[in-house]
Structure 1
Amino acid sequence: MLEPACQADVVIVGAGVAGLSAAQRLNSAGVSTVVLEAAPQVGGRMATEKIDGFRLDRVGRLLFTSYPELRLTPGLDALVLRPFAAGVLVHAEGRVHRAGEPASAGGARGALDAARAFVSPPRRLRQLAPAAAPPMSRAYPPLGGALDQARLAAALGRIATVPVERLLARPERPAGQALAARGMPARTVEGFLRPLLAALLCDPDLTTSSRCADLALRTFASGRLCLPEGGADTLPELLAATLPPGTVRTGVRATSVSTTSVTTAEHGELRCRAVLVATGARAAAELLPGLRVPPCHPVTVVHHTADEPPLTDAALLLDADRRGPVAHTAVISQVDPSRAPVGRALISSTVLGAPTADTDRAVRAQLAALYGTATHRWELLAVHHTPDAVPAMAPPHDLRRPVRLLAGLYVCGDHRDTSTVQGALHSGRRVARAVLSDLGAAATGSAVAAPLPTPTAA
C-alpha cells in the first residue's frame, strides 16, 4: 500500500507529562498526533518501579494541591492526590520540630492565628483523598519561640497572597543570598526556610533564582504537599489514556527531526506538518543542535521497608542539621497506603546528589537519628539515581523560554518553564497553543494517526 502523505499532523518526540499534555490538547482540537517514546513506558522521569507489591518512584518529585495545571490539564480529572500532614517536620538543633502548618492545627500556636488567617485556602482537585490515618505520633514542639513563629506565619501569609507578577518583578539573585537579606531570625532561615527550599527545588546550595524560590514558597504557603495515589507514573498514564488508541508508540527512538518529518531507528521516516520535541533538555539538544542545555541537579532516592513504621506523622521530615546525605524523608506508606503491601512500611529518602558505595549505611545512620529508632533491620528495596533529575534555574532564569523554534519545529518540557511538574504541564499547554496557531486550517481534523511504517531490517 502507498504510504499517506503524512502519518499525522504533529509528531511528538517524548511521552513525558509535557509531551502528553500537548498531545491531549492537540487531539482535542482535532489535530492528529503521534507520540514517540524511546522507553518501554510513558512518563519520562515520572517513573515508578514495582517491586514485590511496592511502588517506588524513581525521582520522587513533590506535588502541591495548589498547582493550577493539575486542575487545568484535561485528562487529570481522575487523578487522586494523597496529601502529607500539614506543614513539615524539621530536625533542627538535635530535635524534631513542627513548622509551616496552617492555623487550624490549634494548640499552643493559637497566637499565630491572626497572621496565618491571611493564607489563602488550598485549591484542591476534584479528587483529593484524605491522608491515611497515622499511628499514634509524638507531640512535636514548634520551631522557635512565639515571636519567631509569628514572623514566619506573617511571611508565609504575605507570600501566599502576593500576585505572581509582583513576585517576578522582584530583584533576582541566588536564593541563598536572598534568604540572608529577608530579615528573618537565623533560626527560622537555617532551621526551616533553607532546608524547605532545598527540598522543593532539589538544590542543596540554593543557587536557584530567588524568583523561582519565591514561587516555590508561594506554592507551599497556599497548598498542601501531596503525592499521586499509586505512584508518580499515575499522572502520565492518565494523560496517555485520554489519547486515541495507537497515538502513543513506545520503544521507538527518534534519530533526527525537521519541520516536516521525524526519522526513527525502527521505522524510518515519519512525515508530518509539525514536529514537537518533548524530551529532557539533554536529549532535546541531541535532536536540536544549538539548543541550550541547563545544568541539572542530580537526585538519588533510597527506598527502605520495615515491619513497623517509625513513630511519626504522615509528614515530610527535613534535616536542617545536615548530619548526613538525606535532605528529606517520609514514611510514604502512611501518606499513600497503596504504595506498600499490607503490613509493611515504605520509607523513602531523598539525597540531593549521587550515591556512593557507602550511601545505604550513611542513610540508615541518619534516619536512625531523624526517626529516633533503630534502622539496621530495615530492608533496602532500591536506590534510584537520576543525574539530570531537575534542570537548574540559576539567575537570570527565563520562566517562559520560547517553545517555538521556527514554524513547524517546537520544544517543550520543564527546561522551558519552571523545573516542576507544574512547569512541564504548563509548557505543554503553551506549545499546544503555538502549534494550533501556526497550523491553522492546515490540520487534517483527523483524530486518528496513520500506522507507522513497517520496521526496517537491521
Structure 2
Amino acid sequence: MLEPAQSADVVIVGAGVSGLAAAHHLTRAGVTTVVLEAAPYTGGRMSTEKVDGFRLDRIGQLLFTSYPELTRTPGLDALVLRPFAPGVLVHSDGRHHRAGPPAPTWSTKGARGSARGALIAARALASAPRAPRAPRTAGPATPRPATPLGGALDQARLSAALGRLAATPAERLLTRRELPAAQALATRGLPSRTVDGFLRPLLSALLSDPGLTTSSRCADLALHAFARGRLCLPEGGADALPELLAATLPPGTVRTGVRVTEVSTTSVRTADHGELACRSVLLATGARAAAELLPGLRVPSFHPVTVVHHATSEPPLAEPALLLDADRRGPVAYTAVVSQVDPSRAPAGRTLVSSTVLGPPPPGLDALVRGHLAELYGTSTSGWETLAVHHDPEAVPAMPAPHDLHRPVRLLTGLYVCGDHRDTSTVQGALHSARRAAHVLAADLGVDLPDAVDPMSTAA
C-alpha cells in the first residue's frame, strides 16, 4: 500500500523486465525508486502459468546465451539458462536435418569476456543434455536425399556466412542497407533452397514474423545472436527472469495491484491508492498502455502469437532441439520438447511439448496443430493432453523497415519511456532500453551511473 504523501526520486510504471531492470540500475546508484504494477504479479508478458506441475509460458520467449544485457543487468547473477542443442533441427520431406553455426562461439565472447558471462555460459554448459548419437548400421551406403540446406557446397557457404556474421561487430551490421527482411535475404549470396528451407523459417521463429516484413537490420542482429550463441530458456519458466529481478530489489520497491491513471513530471495518480510525488516518472509498460497514459505516443502494429502446450508420457524427440518446419505444411512455426531442455517444467514421468503458431490462429487450432505435430515428430499425437492454449494478439511489437532501433527514451525532462517497443522486440531490447532510460534519467537528476551505454549494443 502507498502511504499518504509518500514520495520517491523516481516512479516507474510497469513491472515487466524493462521496468524492473531500470529500477536496478537506478537503485544501485542510490536513486530512491518505486515500481508500480497494475497486475497482481510482475513480469508482464514474461509470465508462466502453473498447471498440474507443468510450467507453461504464455509467450514462447526464446533467449540467446549471447545476449549481453543478461550479464550487464544487475540482479541476474543467479539466472540459470537451459540451452537447446546446438543450432536447430529443420524438418523437410519427413526427415530432420541439423543446421546452425559451424562451431559454438557463445561461451564468453557473447558477454564480452565478463566474469558473469562466463558464469552464465558455464551454468548453461553444465545443464545441457547431450544429444544421443544415431546407431551405426551395416550395409551398403545409400545416397543421402537433398536437404533443405542444399548440397554440400551450399552448406559450406551457409556455414561460412554464419561464421562471418558471428565475427562482424553489431555496429557494422547497422550500417547495411535497410530493406524488409524477406527482400534482403535474396541479396546475401546464398542459394534459394538454403534461404527458403532454413533462413526463412529460422527468422520467422526468431522475429515472430511469418511474412518477414521486419527490418533487415533487426533480422541481421537476430542472426548475429544465433551465430554467436545458443538458443536457451530460463530455468523454471519465462517468469524466472522478472521474478529474480523483483526479488533482488530493495524490499518495498515493487508494488503490485496499483493501477496508475495519470502521470506528470512530478507525480503519478493511481486509481485506488492516491497520489505519489516524485522527481521523475519512467513509463515501462507496453506500447499501448503507455499511449493511454500519454496520448500521442506512437503505437506500433503487433505480431500475434499463440502457444499450444501438450503433455505426453514419452518424449517424441530424443534431444533438446528447437524444431522448425521448412515445408510449412501446417500452422506450427516451431516446436520443442521443452521438458528435455528444462526438466523443471514438467512433473516427473511426464513430457511437455510446446508449439508456437504465428499470426492469427486458424479455426480448429488444436486439431490442426496435433496433425502438424504428428508429421513433424513422426508419431501419433491422438493421446496427447492439451494443457493450455495461450493467444496474445499483441505479443511482439512489429519492426518494419525502416525501424529506429534506439527510439528516444526522454519525452520531457522528468518524463521517460522504455520497453521493447523503443529498441528491438526482444528481451535483449527490453533490457537495453531500460539501461538507456536509466542513464538518461540519472544524468538529468545529476547522478552518475556505472557502465556507460554503448549506443550500438542493442543485440551485439
Deviation readout 1:69-97 (Å, 9 max, x if unpaired) = 00111110000000000010011244221
Alignment pair present for 1:411 and 2:408: no
In 2: Cα distance, 1:379 partner to 1:94 partner: 24
1:151 CA displacement: 0.3
**Alpha carbons of structure 1 residues 295 and 382: separation in structure 2 relative to 1, 3 Å:** same
Task: Structure 1: state its 5+ residue gaps.
Answer: 105-116, 443-458
In 2: Cα distance, 1:119 partner to 1:227 partner: 16
**Is residue 102–residue 163 contact of structure 2 (8 Å, CA) maintained in 1?**
no
* Match 2:119 to one of 123, 126, 135: 126
**Alpha carbons of structure 1 residues 49 and 100: separation in structure 2 relative to 1, 3 Å:** same
**Alpha carbons of structure 1 residues 121 and 6: separation in structure 2 relative to 1, 3 Å:** closer
* Match 2:185 to one of 179, 187, 191: 179
**Is residue 29–residue 447 contact of structure 2 (8 Å, CA) maintained in 1?**
no
In 2: Cα distance, 1:77 partner to 1:171 partner: 37
1:432 CA displacement: 0.6
Aligned residues: 429
Amino acid across the alignment from 1:86: P
Aligned to 1:55: 55
Aligned to 1:107: none
TM-score when normalising by structure 2: 0.89
**Alpha carbons of structure 1 residues 54 and 125: separation in structure 2 relative to 1, 3 Å:** farther
Give me the identity figure in percent.
Answer: 73
Amino acid across the alignment from 1:193: L
Structure 1 stretches of at least 4 aligned residues deviating more than 6 Å after TM superposition:
117-120, 135-142
Deviation readout 1:233-273 (Å, 9 max, x if unpaired) = 00001111111111101111111111111111111211111
Aligned CA RMSD, in angstroms, stands at 2.2
DSSP 3-state at the match of 2:334: strand
Aligned to 1:243: 249
DSSP 3-state at the match of 2:262: strand
DSSP 3-state at the match of 2:356: strand
1:164 CA displacement: 1.1
Amino acid across the alignment from 1:97: H
Aligned to 1:79: 79
In 1: Cα distance, 2:53 partner to 2:173 partner: 43
- The equivalences for 1:20-419 within 5 A come to 20-103=20-103, 123=111, 124-127=117-120, 128-129=123-124, 130-133=127-130, 143-419=149-425
Deviation readout 1:163-221 (Å, 9 max, x if unpaired) = 11111011101000001222211110011000000000000000000000000000000
Deviation readout 1:147-172 (Å, 9 max, x if unpaired) = 01100001001111111111101110
Deviation readout 1:322-351 (Å, 9 max, x if unpaired) = 111100000000000000001101000000
**Is residue 94–residue 321 contact of structure 1 (8 Å, CA) maintained in 2?**
no
In 2: Cα distance, 1:197 partner to 1:382 partner: 26
In 2: Cα distance, 1:188 partner to 1:136 partner: 25
Deviation readout 1:37-82 (Å, 9 max, x if unpaired) = 1111000000000111100000011000000000111110000000
**Is residue 65–residue 106 contact of structure 2 (8 Å, CA) maintained in 1?**
no
Aligned to 2:10: 10
**Is residue 320–residue 341 contact of structure 2 (8 Å, CA) maintained in 1?**
yes
**Is residue 71–residue 125 contact of structure 1 (8 Å, CA) maintained in 2?**
no
DSSP 3-state at the match of 1:126: helix
Amino acid across the alignment from 1:244: P
**Is residue 305–residue 378 contact of structure 1 (8 Å, CA) maintained in 2?**
yes
Moved more, 351-360 or 367-376: 351-360
1:144 CA displacement: 2.5
**Alpha carbons of structure 1 residues 191 and 138: separation in structure 2 relative to 1, 3 Å:** farther
DSSP 3-state at the match of 2:119: coil
DSSP 3-state at the match of 1:178: helix
**Is residue 67–residue 110 contact of structure 2 (8 Å, CA) maintained in 1?**
no
In 2: Cα distance, 1:165 partner to 1:341 partner: 44
DSSP 3-state at the match of 2:185: helix
**Alpha carbons of structure 1 residues 436 and 350: separation in structure 2 relative to 1, 3 Å:** same
TM-score when normalising by structure 1: 0.90
